[in-house]
Structure 1
Amino acid sequence: MTCLFSLKTQRTLKGARLGMTVHKVPASVLYQIEQELDKGEKDTMLFLCQDLVPDFPVMDVRMLLVALNERELLTHGILAELLYRMKRFDLLKKILGTSRAAVETSLARNPWILSPYRVLMTEINEDLDKEDLESFIFLLLDNSSMSYMKKAKEKSFLGVINDLEKLELVSPDQLDFLENCLLNIHRRDLVKKIQKHRLEAPVHTVGSAPVYINVLQVSLPGLSLAEPPGMVNKGKLLNGSGAIQKERVPVSVPETGTAVTQVSDHYRMQSQPLGICLIIDCIGNDTGVLVEAFAALRFEVQSCLFLNVNSLSQRLREVAGLKQHKDYDCFVCVVVSRGNHQDIFCTDCALPGFALEKVKRFFTGDKCTGLLGKPKLFFIQNYVEPGHRQEQSSFVEADGDLGPAIPQVADILWSQSMVDASALERSPSSSSYYLSTLAELLTDPRKRMLPLLDTLLELNNRVYKRNRDHPTEQYSLLLKHTLRKKLFLSRS
């Protein structure tokens, strides 16, 4: 079994799937797409399309798109599938005038044009960080020369896979070598993806052409290649100038095998409990409301009051080492302390404090493997001591580099509030408006049905409205994340 298409196969498949005259995509559309892609995305597109023009030595994206267009292999539908696989959902709307949901609907009801094997490789590429890739390349020593190893350090995972294909170590039906390498670098989650691929990408034929049954159809055995009852003409890919219809059709992959959910666009949040919520409160005014809120969200809450810097470090290390993380779907850490914009002082009165960067570092996927690929949420309330106050504009930003306290690894959300410590002097027992509002929104039955990011945007909005009414007590907010999917803290 192979995923490599001949030109004859391509045309047979094209006719079997589309069944109508192909209209070339305007050059202006191809130019727009090329201009929007960065180098990594262009390399991904070349990799994904490698089997569509195997006899043509394509060196860049522009040549690829022209070659596909000239051979009448390029349609708006294929472009939509490409942009979808590359997660450029913004270009689906901006250039092709369609939506992510419409493409998912079409992929659920039509054979994929792109090779499932190449789609799988691009997904693995997205999930490998720099250290994983370096470890993966090191494992190739037994099969490669030292000169190749030096060159490989400059390559992406997809570039290395191309080389392994030439060595006949990896192919669509030969993935054992890749599995073993991923096992050796402790990426069992990616091995599971490969095993799932083997089960969910069988081949059947249309005439003499192999046509891939896609993952959605295998996961939903009642869904055939024909139009499902009651869904005729909804979200269908139209050839040529007909864009993809935008109606949302409830066709998606069941994540657990029972409940139907949107296609892999959200984190799994079904463990009991959802995860550990660690609350470090060095002020003592907010623990009660926080414990109540996160317990209501089905977290196992662990709270610690009035820690000094040494005790904080020890506690973070202990919680990061808990074996339960591998069975849970999420992790939350809330820290309330005096400090400055980079450090928290805990109950210690003198510098140096404990760097905020270190708080999240205990729980990144490389340090806490049980949380690899799972959302890790950090909520920080910092009361800034006199002499350590920065200008508000330096940490109220929506995008860009916000300093060393901001996470740069996947699946982390960082929500931070700062207010002058004089607020505690004026009212020593008062709660943080930021934290009390967070607890209120998280436990509101209506808000719990929204993605967490939507809820946090409302939190920010409420805090800024309060700032207008309290000019002497200004909360400064920072919200950054490296989440890869939507996050819902409640299923009901």
Structure 2
Amino acid sequence: MTRCQVPAFLIHQIQEELDKDEEEMMVFLCRDLAPDLATADLKEILVALNEREKLTPVGLSELLYRVKRFDLLRRILNTEKATVEAHLARSLRLIPDYRVEINENLEKDEVGSLGFLLRDYAPRMKMAKDKSFLALIIDLEKLNLVAPNQLDLIENCFQSIHRIDLIRKIQKYKHEASVSSVHSQPVYVNAHQASLPNLNLIDPPYHSGIQNENIEKLQKGSSLTLGAAEPLHMSIEESGSVPHKMSDDSYRMQSQPLGICLIIDCIGNDTDVLEKTFRGLGYDVHCHRYLNMNSMNQKLLEVARWQKHKYCDSFVCILVSRGNSQSIFCTDHTFSGFPLEQIKKYFTADSCPGLLGKPKLFFIQSYVVPENEQECSSLLEVDGNAENISSKVTIPHAADIFWSHCKVDVSKLEQSPTSSSYYLRCLAELLHNPYKRKRCILAIHMELNKKVYDGNMTVDPSQQYSLLLQHTLRKKLFFPT
């Protein structure tokens, strides 16, 4: 036995003292340390870690601390809780922070509620009546739905069962992980990912430094001395109670639903794919086809006045219509035009207070009617402060607006009346891809630009799409992955 290893009798003695739930918890904590032993019991895992020189007396004391068996710390390892906390404060940790923060014992009815909520995401996942929360997390890890850098799903579920304390724990972990990544580039892996071949993943260096501790060689019956240290005011019972300070560089995108998504498709070819895409992102989607301008105006006003915006983190509006550079015509045959600028105004913070400080995304597909084919008529009267709308600049003055406007000649539609918009089809494909959604909306739109303009290379100039992005976003915007 090397000086870093733990005597076998200590492992046996501790394992005998633990109940079933504590063993399960300890196995969960060790999953990243021994990913090849996914089906092994606790004793097998501890013995294997010991043989691989990954388990030290300090590491064993941390495991007992994490499962709150402070009596065994004192009785078997002859050390105190405060001493272990002092070592943890100096980053002498065996267990990854992710496993610590997500380690919780939930009531059976709460676990049952989580299982019900997750059926849409993991329909094949078996949900036994007596399944614990940790077993549920392990199942989600196997399906690659939860990982150290992929916690939005479980955070949203906690939101649904009103466990604000657990949401704060996850947000605290995510914030600290993002801060630490500025100074280093650690690669986090879960047990499922680490077991895959040829991925060239790096084991997390959580136990580096532990084996360099000057630990006295343990003999049978000897005491474990971890070294004197001042007790810190950091108790495991207090975990998660510290208020979380939200990151200032990205919008909060965690509400359920994520926001209202209003789709007005006056052509009728894109509603289905757009509805599926944004419903999959977590939006409450409302679709309307073939509206005239009066009907659209009333619908926009109605949605802008909804009180539910204050409970959501964002808003999306998608319009598909014939139009010109400044207006859309809906299904009206007389081209009076509904000013696009007014659509923005309905959802700015002064008109819709529930969206104050929240991102408002607009995706417009205009099939442009040539000016010589438009019939002159007065602009539609709209509610609100709309004077001189046509003379205003198109760049939005209000904050937090993302405005993506794609135009193509109406002849494109006339040649293929049932064809969907290539612009909207590419948008849906990008947003449907979870790997693309790891990038902010501006990066996603840059790729959308590329797809649209690459597509233009293969068509007649009169059939090419023109894409314009204007925004007043103040932060980065990420959709849930």
TM value normalised by structure 1:
0.45
**Which structure would you say has the larger Rg?**
2
